[in-house]
Amino acid sequence: MVKVPGKKAGPGPIRALNLPGLVEVEEDDARNPVAVSMKRRRLAVASIEDVWEVLDEWWRAKPISRRYYRLVMEEGPQVTLFWDLVDGCWYQQRG
């Protein structure tokens, strides 16, 4: 016999997926990333494949203003990072 649980079945709470995470980045004089600290490892940047900016939601209290970098690392996977031009922090874009 199956017990009937005390709560209704249905979807759980809504949550964001693939949120960017803070990362430590070493920069050159032009503010380009040269190394990234991920999972307690320092990964050197082999090349910057692409750079682009996203400026959006300018009407909000905290607009979106980011400079993205698509990086090829010397060891490990390709990585997409962005420098948040509003809060001055580096993030790894996941997903």
Residue 63 is predicted with a pLDDT of 87
- Write the pLDDT tens digit of every residue in 65-81: 999 999 999 987 899 99
Cα–Cα distance measured from residue 66 to residue 49, given in angstroms and rounded to the nearest whole number:
17
Note whether residue 72 is domain-resident: yes
Number of domains in the chain: 1
Residue 45 lies in a domain: yes
Residue 60 inside a domain? The answer is yes
40: DSSP letter: T
Q: CA torsion angle for 76, 81, 91, 78 (degrees, to 10)? A: -20
Q: Does the residue 61 lie in any domain? A: yes
CA-based nearest residue to 24, from 10, 5, 41? 41
Q: Is residue 47 part of a domain?
A: yes
Q: Phi/psi at 19 (nearest 5 deg)? A: -65, 140
pLDDT digits (tens, 9 = 90+) for 2-56: 666 666 666 778 877 778 889 999 999 999 999 999 888 899 999 999 999 999 9
Alpha carbon 61 to its chain's center: 21
Q: Is the pLDDT of residue 61 over 80?
A: yes
| Domain extent at residue 46 | 21-92
| Rounded average pLDDT over 79-85 | 95
Its pTM surpasses 0.75: yes
Residue 37 — φ and ψ, nearest 5°? -95, 115
